[in-house]
Amino acid sequence: MDEISADFNFLFNNLNKISYILKDSTHFGSVNKKMADFCALDVSELEDKSISVILDQEKIPAVKKFNQEIFQKGLRKNVEMEIEINNEQKIVKVDTIPHYNSESEVDYLLCLAEDITAEIEKERKFYRNKKRYSSIFKKAPLAFVVSDRETNIIDWNDKAEEIFGWKKEEVINKNFNIIVEEDSYFEITELVEAVFEGKESYNINKNVAKDGSKLFCEWNTALIKDRNNKIVEIISIAQDITEKIDTKKRIESQKEELKYSELRTQFFANISHELKTPLNLIFSSLQLLEYKLKNTLSADQNQFNKYLASIRNNGFRLLRLVNNLIDITKIDVNTFQLHRGNFDIIRLVEAVADSTKDYLKTKNRNFRFESEVDSQIIACDPFNIERVILNLISNAVKFTAAGDEILLRIVKKEDNIIISLRDTGIGIKKKNQNIIFEQFRQVDQNFNKKREGSGIGLSLVKSIVEMHGGQITLDSIYGIYSRFNVNLPIVKLGEADVESENYSADSLLNKVELEFSDLNHI
Q: For residue 110, is it within any domain? A: yes
What CA–CA distance (Å, rounded) separates 189 from 440?
43
- Residue 186 sits in a domain whose CATH number is 3.30.450.20
pLDDT at 448: 35
Tell me the torsion sign for CA atoms 360, 361, 365, 371. positive
pLDDT classification of 188: cutoffs 50, 70, 90: confident
Domain boundary among 92, 115, 138: 115
Task: Looking at the structure, tell me whether residues 233 and 249 fall in a common domain.
Answer: no
The predicted pLDDT at position 244 comes to 87
Burial class (CB in 10 A: 0-12, 13-18, 19+), 396: buried
Q: Name beta bridge partners: 231.
A: 225
Count the domains in the chain: 3
- pLDDT at site 489: 95
Comparing C-alpha atoms, which of 498, 131, 447, 517 is closest to residue 340?
Answer: 498
Q: Per-residue pLDDT for 253 more than 90?
A: no
Residue 176 has what DSSP assignment? G
Looking at residue 470, what is its pLDDT?
A: 94
Binned at pLDDT 50, 70 and 90, residue 20 comes out as very high
The answer, yes or no, to whether residue 449 has pLDDT greater than 50, is no
Check pLDDT > 50 for residue 353: yes
Q: Are residues 421 and 313 in the same domain?
A: yes
DSSP alpha helices (H): ranges in 197-300?
242-295
Decide which of 224 and 98 is more confident. Answer: 98
For position 281, what pLDDT does the model report? 74
187 burial via Cβ count (<10 Å: 0-12, 13-18, 19+):
middle
- Shared domain for 452 and 347, answered yes or no, is yes
Domain stops at, among 115, 139, 160: 115
Q: Rounded distance, CA 56 to CA 456, Å?
A: 100
Check residue 447 and give its pLDDT: 34
State yes or no: pLDDT of 251 exceeds 50: yes
Give the domain extent around 407: 245-522
DSSP 105-118: -EEEEEEEEEE-HH
Q: Where are the alpha helices (DSSP H) in 333-432?
A: 345-362, 382-398
Residues 132 and 85 in one domain: no
Q: What is the pLDDT of residue 67?
A: 92
Same domain, 290 and 416: yes
Same domain, yes or no: 271 and 399 = yes
Helix (H) or strand (E) holding 402: none
Between 323 and 475, name the one with better pLDDT. 475
* 332 and 458 together in one domain: yes
Query: H or E stretch including 342?
Result: strand 341-344
Which of the listed residues 115, 138, 172 is the one where a domain comes to its end?
A: 115
pLDDT tens for each residue of 367-379:
999 999 999 999 9
Q: Is residue 1 part of a domain?
A: no
In-domain check, residue 328: yes
Q: Residue 505 — very low, low, confident or very high, per pLDDT cuts 50/70/90?
A: very low
pLDDT at position 458 is 86
Partners of residue 144 on adjacent β-strands: 237
**218 shares a domain with 156:** yes
Higher pLDDT, 497 or 235: 235
Confidence of residue 221 (pLDDT cuts 50, 70, 90): confident
Closest CA to 51 of 100, 96, 3, 104: 96
Pairing of β 341-344 and β 377-380? antiparallel
For residue 249, is it within any domain?
yes
- All residues at 6 or more sequence positions from 5 whose CB lies less than 8 Å from its CB, including other chains: none
Q: Give the domain CATH number at 317.
A: 3.30.565.10
176 within 8 A of 190, measured Cβ to Cβ? no
Q: pLDDT tens across 380-408, in order?
A: 988 889 889 988 998 899 889 999 999 99
Kindly tell me if the per-residue pLDDT of 328 is higher than 70. Answer: no
| % of the chain residues with pLDDT over 90 | 30
The mean per-residue pLDDT over the stretch 23-35 comes to 92
Q: How many CB atoms neighbour CB 490 within 10 A?
A: 15
Residue 413: inside a domain, yes or no? yes
Check whether 185 has a pLDDT greater than 90: no
**C-alpha–C-alpha distance, residues 122 and 124, integer Å:** 5
What is the pLDDT of the chain when averaged over all its residues?
81
Q: Is residue 366 part of a domain?
A: yes
DSSP secondary structure of 302-331: HHHHHHHHHHHHHHHHHHHHHHHHHHHHHH
pLDDT digits (tens, 9 = 90+) for 126-183: 767 766 666 677 777 888 888 888 889 988 888 889 999 999 899 999 988 888 888 8
For residues 192 and 312, state if they share a domain.
Answer: no
Q: How far is CA 372 from the centre of its chain?
A: 42
Residue 69 reports pLDDT greater than 80: yes
The pLDDT of residue 481 is above 60: yes
Helix (H) or strand (E) holding 119: helix 117-139
Give the number of other CB atoms < 10 A from CB of residue 219. 18
Residues 111 and 131 placed together within one structural domain of the fold: no
What average pLDDT does this structure show over 505-522? 56
> What's the pLDDT tens digit per position in 292-320?
766 665 556 666 666 666 666 566 666 66
Band of residue 86 on the pLDDT scale cut at 50, 70, 90: confident
The band of 68, judged by pLDDT with boundaries at 50, 70 and 90, is very high
Distances (CA, A) of 479 to 209, 424, 482: 54, 8, 9
Residues 250 and 300 in one domain: yes
Give kind and range of the element (H or E) at residue 134.
Answer: helix 117-139
Nearest to 495 by CA among 280, 341, 313: 341
Q: Once rounded to an integer, what is the mean pLDDT over residues 448-465? A: 67
Judgement on whether residues 142 and 110 belong to the same structural domain of the protein: no
Residue type, 422: R
Q: Which residue has the higher pLDDT, 258 or 120?
A: 120
Alpha helices in 363-381 (DSSP H): none
434 pLDDT tier (thresholds 50, 70, 90)? confident
pLDDT band at 227 (very low <50, low <70, confident <90, very high): confident
Please tell me the predicted confidence (pLDDT) of residue 408.
95
